[in-house]
Structure 1
Amino acid sequence: MVIWLFSHKWRVSLLMSKLEEFHSMFYPRSVAVVGVSTNPQGWGGHAFIRRLKKVGFPGDIYAVNPKATNEVHGVKAYPSVKDIPVRPDMVIVSVPARRVPEVLEDCIAAGVKNVHIFSSGFSETQEEEGRQLEARIVEIIKRGNLRVVGPNCMGLYVPASKFTAWGAPPKGVGNMAFISQSGGHGEILSRYAQELGIYFSKIISFGNARGLQALDFLEYLAEDPDTGIIGMYLEGMSDGNRFTRLVKEINRTKPVIIWKGGLTESGARAAASHTASMAGEARIWDAFFAQTGAIRVNSLEEMADVALLFLHLKPFRGRRVLLLGGGGGNAVAMADICSRDGLTVPTLAEDTRRQLAEFIPLAGNSIRNPLDVWLVQHNLEMFRRCIEIAAADPAIDLIIADRYPHDDDMDDDGPPNFAEQSQRVDEFIVEFAKNNPFGKPLVVAVNAPTNDPNGVKAAAELRLKFALAGVPAYPSQASATRALSRFIGYHEFLAKTQEAAEPTLASCCRS
């Protein structure tokens, strides 16, 4: 036990030094962009500078262009990195692949340590020329002791330091980090997640990873005080044993959500041409998830779905669901979906059903669970009474409320203030989710009743309304139950791990 404590302190000391080592990468005071075209419509280096200026990056920005004599796009330009009078904290390289070795040599000569290689055209091309170029830059990186992100990647996205030269403009600073082998996935998630109120501490696009590895960034985020949730998109992994140990340890305190790409033959082939990754067999990754307890997802949308629960819900372990919706066929479908995802839909207690029957007619409704109670969906007082009685049932652990967007034109037979009543119920759901006296979590499934663009838009807007109010909301019952099952499974895994460790710890203490 003494040995374990010593090794733990030693590891923490190393990680603290990594926090210090990487600080100037994530919080640079100056950035130089190499490969800035004088064409105002140019892509690459110019786009990085334009974005940094747009978001108000507070540090100094320098452009590197051998043909520039004064300024490029409003920033001071120099022929090479060596000619910049100060040493930049970060250099972004956006030049043709054949010129990258020269730029790296200039960085070494200038004393630069942090480099992001945006350029592509290396081993991911699966051509001999690209492989040789990559081998050459690896040699330079090692010789110069450079901290390199890439090549073939978008680099770092840090809202707190306004070092966001790509991705969606930050709407805020949050506690979710995302490590991605794909820059495109980082771009998409930065937009999609922020719309749901999920804000980032860091996004790291690392591409071919011929300098810093995904594991280096994972170690950094493990101790990063600004990060509480870690998402990952991976196509391959070079050190499986180290990765497994690291994820298993981090996952105890910070949930790790992983989308593993390239598990099919076609996907593995695509991964090889995307980032030169060896994807690995599905059965190996099955074992990895079973050993580490990391949360497995299969899309960016699923990653955001799970992250919403970690942001807004407290841990719970029960799987018994109260389904509150309307429509007999819909109720059957909801129950089937829950069962497929390992959630149970228990029949409500006889006393609960008796209380509900006092004001909900049995004709056209069902009060057993699922609650097929279309009658109460747009009546605040009846809805309040219904959910408070049902949520109090001891057989219930959590609640899924099925909601639809409504306006006064959607039901010709409804009251004239149909939309207003629905809105009042929605507002109550938000309040109940946050402050219900039973402490039972509630999530919302928002269904679009039509494929009409206006109906789809209304459903999306209602979902955002719930999510931005702090209530996890989903575009379907299936996505809600899938996310809940993974969230519950994570906490079940932690509980089992802790229970298994307690006898060992007690035995160790006795000895």
Structure 2
Amino acid sequence: MIHPLHTLFHPKSIAVIGASEVPGKAAERRTRSLIQGGYEGQIYLINPKRDRLFDRKAYPSVLDIGNAIDLAMIVIAPKFIPQAVADSVKMGAKGIVIITAGLGETGEDGKKIEAEVLKIADEGGAKIIGPNCSGLFSGSARMNLLGIPPIKKGPLAIIAQSGNIIDSLTHYAEMRGMGLSAIISVGNAIGVKFHEYIEYLSQDDDTKVIMMYMEGINEGSQLVQVARRVSTKKPIIILKVGRSKAGMRAAASHTGSLAADDAIVNAAFKQAGIIRVSNVDEMFDVATCFANLPLPKGKNVAILSEGGGDNSVAADNAEVQGLEVPVLPS
């Protein structure tokens, strides 16, 4: 059975609403990365002020395309977003990626726009990614809506509430020669939720390890339920911020997320088989290990080192993390 999110990662056509050629603009970077990334489907560039963009025909409205679309990416001012979503739904869009920031994370006016957008999308059967997000990447579809240089296809997937965390992880991947199967910038996550992405990636043959950066958890029980099932087959590694008061304030101002009690988060993650890490470096190291090594069958580990001190440090850390270092037979 095809997963409901499949079309978002394998669209046959994409409309870029707010497409631009102005260097450095969010719309220009993402339009360019989509075109240069090798995406083979139909690309429709929408800009009422231009007849052509990137040597391609441009349309004043998505309604003027004349063909149905699978996915729309919206990079326009907040007040115009509801109409753009409504037009995209009319043209058959199953997925809508909203890059624009300045919505729910800024206050009540932005939350009202988000509620209107979500209502329109739900009634039209479309999935919303974002708003306030960096975009989407699918290795198998060669679709790069992130506005960053070409990305090598590989076994690691990223789900993140932060564009700069995605930038860091893609940089590490390039430096270490690792590839990525999917990158999802969830932003304010008013539509598709974390557990839905995990569920989709669990069925994705290209994904071996799932990395996540979270600022808030709004669907705790569903996340735990899905992660418990998926983590036995594919490791889930999460960097969850909001451990401190300062971190909670930062998360709230960034994506409008409310951070949960950290002790509860730890207990829930442990119950679900989720591996929690403290920083981006640790997350990528752990993900790389899981991608290149088979999943262990138990808790027993052997430590090999050239010095006694290193052995002692490793042994302490192993037991702290719940592993066992048995005495080997002589």
Same fold by TM-score greater than 0.5? yes
The Cα offsets for residues 205-257 of structure 1, whole Å up to 9 and x where unpaired, read as 11111111111111111222222211111111212111111111111111111
Gaps of 5+ in 2: 325-330
| Structure 1 residue 49 displacement after superposition | 1.4
Q: Give yes or no for the alignment of 1:81 onto 2:57.
A: no
What residue is the counterpart of 1:92 in the other structure? 73
Q: Give yes or no for the alignment of 1:237 onto 2:220.
A: no
Counterpart mapping for 1:163-178 below 5 A: 163-166=143-146, 167-171=148-152, 173-178=153-158
Cα distance in 2 for residues equivalent to 1:190 and 1:87:
32
Letter in 2 for 1:253: K
| Structure 1 residue 128 displacement after superposition | 2.5
Identity %: 36
Q: Give yes or no for the alignment of 1:61 onto 2:33.
A: no
Cα distance in 2 for residues equivalent to 1:149 and 1:273:
19
Counterpart mapping for 1:288-327 below 5 A: 288-316=268-296, 317-324=299-306
The structure with the greater share of residues assigned to helix is 1
SS in 2 for 1:32: strand
The Cα offsets for residues 380-415 of structure 1, whole Å up to 9 and x where unpaired, read as xxxxxxxxxxxxxxxxxxxxxxxxxxxxxxxxxxxx
Compare relative contact order (CA 8 Å, sep 6+) and give the higher one, 1 or 2. Answer: 2
What residue is the counterpart of 1:3 in the other structure? none
- Answer whether contact 1:26 1:161 (CA < 8 A) is retained: yes
Gaps of 5+ in 1: 1-15, 326-330, 344-484, 493-511
Q: Give yes or no for the alignment of 1:115 onto 2:99.
A: no
What residue is the counterpart of 1:36 in the other structure? 19
The Cα offsets for residues 332-390 of structure 1, whole Å up to 9 and x where unpaired, read as 3x3453244136xxxxxxxxxxxxxxxxxxxxxxxxxxxxxxxxxxxxxxxxxxxxxxx
SS in 2 for 1:342: helix
SS in 1 for 2:237: strand
The Cα offsets for residues 437-456 of structure 1, whole Å up to 9 and x where unpaired, read as xxxxxxxxxxxxxxxxxxxx
- Answer whether contact 2:195 2:227 (CA < 8 A) is retained: no
| Structure 1 residue 58 displacement after superposition | 1.6
Cα distance in 2 for residues equivalent to 1:237 and 1:107:
29
Counterpart mapping for 1:1-400 below 5 A: 16-18=1-3, 21-37=4-20, 39-68=21-50, 70-125=51-106, 127-166=107-146, 167-171=148-152, 173-316=153-296, 317-324=299-306, 332=309, 334-342=310-318
Count of paired positions: 321
Letter in 2 for 1:22: L
Letter in 2 for 1:169: P
Letter in 2 for 1:26: F
The Cα offsets for residues 126-169 of structure 1, whole Å up to 9 and x where unpaired, read as x2222222222122222222111111112211122110132441
Letter in 2 for 1:319: V
- Answer whether contact 1:40 1:73 (CA < 8 A) is retained: no
The Cα offsets for residues 164-190 of structure 1, whole Å up to 9 and x where unpaired, read as 13244123x222211112222122212
Cα distance in 2 for residues equivalent to 1:45 and 1:315:
41
- Answer whether contact 1:168 1:190 (CA < 8 A) is retained: no
Cα distance in 2 for residues equivalent to 1:255 and 1:235:
20
What residue is the counterpart of 1:8 in the other structure? none
| Structure 1 residue 48 displacement after superposition | 1.2
Cα distance in 2 for residues equivalent to 1:101 and 1:140:
8
Cα distance in 1 for residues equivalent to 2:15 and 2:24:
17
- Answer whether contact 1:90 1:112 (CA < 8 A) is retained: yes
Letter in 2 for 1:245: Q
SS in 2 for 1:232: strand
Letter in 1 for 2:205: P
- Answer whether contact 2:136 2:184 (CA < 8 A) is retained: yes
- Answer whether contact 1:116 1:151 (CA < 8 A) is retained: yes
- Answer whether contact 1:49 1:61 (CA < 8 A) is retained: no
Letter in 2 for 1:337: V
SS in 2 for 1:252: coil
Query: TM-score, length-normalised on structure 1?
Result: 0.60
Cα distance in 2 for residues equivalent to 1:158 and 1:198:
15
CA RMSD of aligned residues (A): 2.0
Cα distance in 2 for residues equivalent to 1:342 and 1:86:
58
Letter in 2 for 1:32: A
The Cα offsets for residues 436-480 of structure 1, whole Å up to 9 and x where unpaired, read as xxxxxxxxxxxxxxxxxxxxxxxxxxxxxxxxxxxxxxxxxxxxx
Letter in 1 for 2:60: P
SS in 2 for 1:322: coil
SS in 2 for 1:289: helix
SS in 1 for 2:57: strand
